[in-house]
């Protein structure tokens, strides 16, 4: 079972590190589901002013995959970017990053994302482990391109029932690029945390879960609202009001 507070506590710890070490104009922007980076730091002009805000985004898969010590080092790397917004990975950046205790690159992490898929070549039986399916992967056998078959082997159960969803409710999160759309669809105020709002809906009596055929998506709702969740990553991807 996943700690039901996982997302909330992880978020709080990230915010704490940002508040302690980052320049004042830096905020935690939220999550993405990236598997090719642990984090990102973007610089945005604050409308109507000459000032900028740094937004640090952390990959939820990374936050899940590594111990807090390593997630913290990823956050500190992004804080170094916030301190030196125009530098890139230069020697000066490395100095600041080292002094904060951040990782220099993703290669400093002790291992990769744990595989969730096992691919098998249907002809020779060779197996390959990957975090995501690689539909383009093939072998050439007798001049034919033979694509791998993929099987989910992830440690977290894919959402197949309301019970599974509730057991792993700590994984419910929203990615930064979907936040505004979901907020608008549900007419939720900016102060309200959408992940928290979604968790409340999931735990509500009488909500129904519908699994979508041939896709890793499911929908959950009451009479008023409905959210769509990626059944593998536990990401709330969209929402709608029913009336
Ligand atoms: Zn970097
Ligand atoms: Zn083969």
Which bound ligand lies closest to the C-alpha atom of 97? 1
pLDDT digits (tens, 9 = 90+) for 40-83: 999 999 889 889 999 999 999 999 999 999 999 999 999 999 99
* Centroid of ligand 2 to alpha carbon of 119 (angstroms): 11
Ligand nearest to the CA of 77: 1
In the chain, the number of structural domains is 3
Measured in Å, residue 239 CA sits from the centre of ligand 1 at: 33
Measured CA to CA, the distance from residue 91 to residue 21 in angstroms comes to: 20
Three-state secondary structure along 45-85?
ECCCCCCEEEEEEEEHHHHHHCCHHHHHHHHHHHHHHHHCC
Q: Ligand 1 centroid to 65 CA: how many Å?
A: 19
**C-beta separation of 241 from 222 below 8 A:** no
Task: Tell whether 1 is covered by a domain.
Answer: no
Residue 62 φ/ψ, nearest 5 degrees: -70, -40
Of 50 and 169, the structure prediction assigns the larger pLDDT to 169
Q: Which ligand is nearest to the CA of 137?
A: 2
**213 confidence band (pLDDT: 50, 70, 90):** confident
Domain-embedded: residue 157: no
Give residue 152 CA to ligand 2 midpoint distance, Å. 19
8 Å CB contact between 13 and 68: yes
Token pair, residue 200, equals: 């409340």
How many A from CA of 82 to the centre of ligand 1? 10
Q: Is residue 24 in a domain?
A: yes
Residue 215 pLDDT level (bands cut at 50, 70, 90):
confident
Residues 71, 143, single domain; the answer is no
Are residue 184 and residue 96 in the same domain, yes or no?
A: no
Is pLDDT at 31 greater than 90 in this prediction? yes
Are 143 and 176 found together in one domain?
no
Domain shared by 144 and 82, yes or no: no
Q: How far is the CA of 193 from the centre of ligand 1 (A)?
A: 27
Distance 232 CA to ligand 2 centre (A): 27
Query: pLDDT confidence of 6, banded at 50, 70, 90?
Result: very high
243 pLDDT more than 80: no
Ligand 2 center from residue 235 Cα (angstroms):
34
Co-location of 97 and 28 in the same domain: yes
Q: Does residue 187 register a pLDDT over 80?
A: yes
**What share of the chain has pLDDT > 70, as a percent?**
100
Residues 83 and 129 reside in one and the same domain? no
> Which domain, by its residues, includes 217?
162-241
Same domain, 29 and 97: yes
Kindly report the number of other CB atoms within 10 A of residue 12's CB atom. 11
Q: Do both 65 and 121 map to the same domain?
A: no
State yes or no: pLDDT of 1 exceeds 80. no
Q: What is the CATH number of the domain that holds 84?
A: 3.30.2010
Apex 115 CA angle, 14 and 31, nearest 5: 25
User: Ligand 1: distance of its center to the CA of 104 in Å?
Assistant: 7
Q: Are residues 19 and 102 in the same domain?
A: yes
How many angstroms separate the alpha carbon of residue 138 from the centre of ligand 2?
Answer: 8
One domain, residues 95 and 122? no
Q: Are residues 21 and 75 in the same domain?
A: yes
Residue 84 lies in a domain: yes
pLDDT at 242 over 90: no
pLDDT surpassing 80 at residue 171: yes
Q: Is residue 65 part of a domain?
A: yes
pLDDT for 41 equals 96
- CA–centroid distance, residue 77 to ligand 1 (Å): 6
Domain match, 142 and 199 both: no
Nearest-ligand number for the alpha carbon of 119: 2
């Amino acid at each position: 079972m996943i700690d039901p507070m996982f997302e909330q506590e992880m978020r709080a710890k990230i915010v704490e590190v940002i508040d302690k070490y980052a320049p004042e104009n830096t905020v935690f922007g939220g999550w993405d589901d990236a598997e090719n980076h642990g984090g990102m730091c973007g610089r945005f002009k604050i409308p109507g002013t000459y000032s900028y805000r740094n937004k640090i985004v952390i990959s939820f898969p990374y936050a899940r995959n590594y111990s807090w010590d390593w997630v913290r080092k990823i956050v500190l790397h992004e804080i170094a970017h916030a301190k030196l917004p125009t530098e890139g990975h230069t020697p000066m950046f490395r100095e600041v990053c080292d002094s904060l205790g951040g990782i220099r690159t993703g290669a400093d992490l002790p291992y990769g994302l744990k595989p969730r898929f096992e691919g098998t070549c249907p002809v020779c039986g060779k197996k390959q482990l990957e975090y995501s399916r690689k539909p383009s992967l093939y072998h050439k056998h007798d001049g034919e391109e033979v694509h791998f078959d993929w099987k989910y082997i992830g440690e977290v159960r894919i959402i197949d029932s309301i019970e599974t969803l509730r057991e792993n409710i700590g994984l419910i999160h929203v990615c930064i690029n979907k936040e505004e759309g979901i907020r608008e669809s549900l007419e939720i105020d900016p102060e309200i945390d959408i992940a928290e709002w979604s968790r409340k809906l999931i735990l509500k009596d009488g909500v129904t879960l519908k699994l979508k055929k041939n896709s890793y998506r499911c929908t959950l709702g009451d009479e008023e609202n409905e959210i769509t969740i990626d059944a593998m990553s536990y990401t709330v991807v969209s929402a709608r009001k029913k009336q």
